[in-house]
Structure formats: structure tokens, C-alpha cells
Amino acid sequence: MKKYLLFSVGLILITALIPNMFFKLANGDPQEASAIPRELTSYSKVVKKVMPAVVSIESKSKAVTKERGFLPRRFFPIPEIPEDFRKFFGQFPDQFDFGDEFSPMLGFASGFVIDPSGIILTNNHVVKGADKVIVEFQDGRKFTAKEIRSDPKTDLAILIIDGNNFPSLKMGNSNKIEIGDRVLAIGAPFGLIGSVTAGIISGKGRNLQMNMYEEFIQTDAAINPGNSGGPLVDLEGNVIGVNTAIKTRTGGWQGVGLAIASDLVEKVWPQLHKDGKVKRGFLGIQVAKLDPDVASRLGVPKNQGVLISKVFENTPAFKAGLKDGDVLISIQGKKVRDGQQVQQIVTGLLADKIVELGIVREGKSIVVSVTIEEQPQEFGLSTQHPLQNQEADGTTLENLGIKIADLNSERAKQFGFKKASEGAVITYVEPGSLAFEAGVERGHLITKVNNQAVKNAEVARKALQSSSLEKGILLQMQSPHNGTSFALLKVVSGK
């Protein structure tokens, strides 16, 4: 009887649980469903929403002749782009048969309508040097841009076309996107208008030194020649980036696409539309990252400050008395930790505004008042020339892995200095040496050793040889292009 009762109770419990088990299997556990979202079966709704506002862009220059020895820019790599990176505006030389006179196409790329009144957003490198730009919509309508307004410092540009009530896209908030979010890249890769690729956000806040001002979103959505200027959108159809470049070793897509973040775009295109240019605050300094060990030796607070490597002449910083080698630790009382933060703060300041800068100079904290000016349009766009490759001479310091010599007139010319100067110029750095690992470079002029000025190579040699590598030797150096820098030469225990 007891066995029967136990069996009956067990049967009742199993009967009661089975429907619930089947319900969970059929509908999914609520907690599990919220943790792991269902896979999308199609992006068609997003594409239909976005596609009408995406355009292809054809850039042309004035007619030239073969006898003038000219070839379109698209036949050559852009020299200012770092190795392994490519900005794509289209390269299809095999599709064209040029006669004795032709109108070469500088670029075939993408863009999108950002304002219904006829404002097209794209990359500056797409339209740079173009005399005529043709915009084509997905429905076949073509327009010639009546005006091109560019900002080379962010590689962004807008085109203005006649008309109104154009389909347009909304800008999203790139700060709110997260790594792993799904995105779509839309454009005209290899001239295939209206192409869509899907991927995820692979990284945020990438700073790759391709432009003066930049903030890149990284994605694994395929980006190829012709995609430049097209939108990177979220699954609601909002633009969170402008497709610009890829990192590649083959010349084609390898899973690392780069798009200019929408938050940076939003700071640029409205000014281009309103004023035809971007107005930025200007200090006139070049800054560099400060090594924590060097910062400690200079008396800089922990996790704070950037090195002012160069103060340009006749700029607000120069007029206020800032010097190469100063360490900037705050702007208007706000602590600064890296160059990008300094850049964002300064460019957002208005001209004629007086700001207070917290500075550490030779171990002492001071406050300097500076009157901000508007940044000159040409600032930061000039190129620098590499050092000439001449045979190294000078005194060898084997324990450091360098050769040093006096900076006479001949060496000043060789390394790009305006004139001979006091100090010891580094003529050679041995790869893998202590100096090499500390970031010391050929062409740097040693001006101080452990905060003591050195007049020539012999004084520098004595100071370096009498200093302790176990305690660390602090070098202050000068270069013709990058200004002041510091390096700490130190033997780490166990090496």
C-alpha cells in the first residue's frame, strides 16, 4: 500500500512537471532568452530604410594630355597614409582607355545625404583635387555638386547639390555603441553601387595618426575600394560612422575596417555647412606622451600630464611664455592625461578666451594664463622630411648603444637643425640597445643629462659615463621636427 502511494505521488509530480518542461522547451526560458538574443534572419528592413539616401560619387579633374606627363592620382598610393593603411576612393585603371586628351577620374566612392536640402557627406580624400563631382542616387538621378567644402584635418567633406526633400539619414551616437553591436556598411565597392556588408563593432576610440584629428570605429564589416565616404549604420538605420579606410597587408579587406565616429562628424559638418570651414581653438604646442618613470623624475603627479615637446613661434603658447620641456598637467583646473584629451579641450575653446594652464617646469608647479586664438587653417597640414641617410660618426658609448658628436654647421644641416647649437647630437642608435628600447632616436640633440646642461659631446660623454644606470639616467633631447623629448636610460634588475 505504501509503495502504491509513493508511486502515485511520483506520477502526479511528473505529470505536473511535464507540461511546464515542454512549455520551456517550446518558448525558451525567459532568463536565457534575454541573455542570448535571437539571430536576425534578415537586414532588409534596415537596408530599405537607409539605401535611398546613399549615393555614389564620381570625382573628375580638368582635361590634361599625356604629353604633360600626368597620370591621375588614383594610379598611385597616397604618400601621407601610414604603411598598412589604405583610404579607398576607387582604383579601376583597367576599365579606362585614355586617348591623347582625357578627363581623368580622381575617385569613385560613396557618400550619403545628411540634410534633406541637398547636403552630401563624404571623405575629403574622395574629392580632394577634383574640379567636378557627380553624385548619383540609387534611383538613377544624377547631380553635379555646386560646392565642395572640406576639412582635411578630419578627412571629411560635404557636397552641396541643387534640390530639396532628398531622403536623408540621421546621425547616431557613437559613444553609446558597444563592442559586439551589429552594423552594416553601405557603399559602392569596386563601383558596385548599393552594396551592403554586415559585421560587428570590433573596437572604439582608435587613434591611428592618419589625420590630425581622429576617432575611428573599427569593424569587421567588409570595406573595399569605393566604400570610402559611405555610412556605417546600426540596426535602426542611424549613422554611427563614415567608412574611411582599412588596415591591410594585401591591399584588400582583411577584416579591419575603419570608420570616422559620428560624434566627431557631428562637430565638423555643421560648421562646414554654416561657415565653409571648421573653427578650432589654438594654443600652438605639440605634445607627447609622458613615460611614468620620466614623469616621476620631473616631479609630475602620478597618472597626470603630457610633455610639451614643442612650442611654435608667434602662437598663444609662445606669447604666454610656455617652453619646450614644460609638462602640461591641467587646463582650466581640469587634469589632463593624454594628448587626445588636450586636443579635444583646446579645439573646443573659443578665440580670445583666457584660460589657465597648470604647468610643471623643472620640478616646480606654476600657472600660466594664455589667450586662445583661432587655429590657422594651414596648421598641421605641412609635411616633414626624413633625415638624410649618411654614415654615422662620433664618440661611441657602447653601454648605451649610441654615438654622439658636436652639432656643428655640417651636422646641423644633415639632421635638419637651423644652425649649430650646444649639446651632443646622436648620430647612431644601435637596434635593440638600451637607448633604442628607451625611445632614443638618431638626430636627437642631447641638451641635458640628469637635468644638467651639456655644452658639447665631450661634456655629455663624461656626464653619461659618470651616471648610474641602476638609478637611471634622464636625458632631455631636442629634435628639429618634434621639439623636446625625454628618455630614461635604466638597467632593470635581472637584465
Cβ–Cβ under 8 Å, residues 144 and 91: no
C-alpha Rg value of the chain to the nearest Å? 30
Cβ–Cβ under 8 Å, residues 328 and 359: yes
Q: Measured between alpha carbons, how far is 113 from 160 in angstroms, rounded to an integer?
A: 10
SS3 97: coil
Q: Measured between alpha carbons, how far is 482 from 477 in angstroms, rounded to an integer?
A: 10
Residue 60 has a pLDDT of 84
Residues in Cβ contact with 441 at an 8 Å cutoff, skipping those fewer than 6 apart: 426, 429, 479
Direct distance between the N- and C-terminal alpha carbons of the chain, in angstroms, rounded to an integer: 82
Distances 280 to 124, 241, 348, 367, 374 between C-alpha atoms, Å: 18, 22, 6, 23, 6
Q: Which residues of the chain have pLDDT under 70?
A: 1-39, 62-107, 248-254, 381-392, 492-495
Query: According to DSSP H, which parts of 241-337 are helical?
Result: 262-275, 292-297, 316-319
Cβ–Cβ under 8 Å, residues 261 and 238: no
Q: What single-letter DSSP state applies at residue 37?
A: P
Q: Number of helices (H) and strands (E), helices first, in the chain?
A: 11, 31
Q: Measured between alpha carbons, how far is 225 from 220 in angstroms, rounded to an integer?
A: 15
Query: Of 401, 421, 397, nearest to 410 (Cα)?
Result: 421
Residues in Cβ contact with 305 at an 8 Å cutoff, skipping those fewer than 6 apart: 290, 295, 327, 328, 329, 336, 337, 360
Give the count of alpha carbons within 13 A of 71, CB side only: 8
Buried b or exposed e, range 211-242, using 16+ CB within 10 angstroms: bbbbbbbbbbbbbbbbbbbbbbbbeebbbbbb
441, three cell numbers: 632616436
Q: Measured between alpha carbons, how far is 188 from 190 in angstroms, rounded to an integer?
A: 6
Q: Among all residues, which ones are annotated catalytic?
A: 125, 155, 228
Beta strands 354-361 and 142-144, pairing class: unpaired
Cβ–Cβ under 8 Å, residues 227 and 248: no
- pLDDT per position as a tens digit, 297-327: 888 888 888 999 889 888 999 999 999 989 9
Q: Measured between alpha carbons, how far is 454 from 118 in angstroms, rounded to an integer?
A: 62
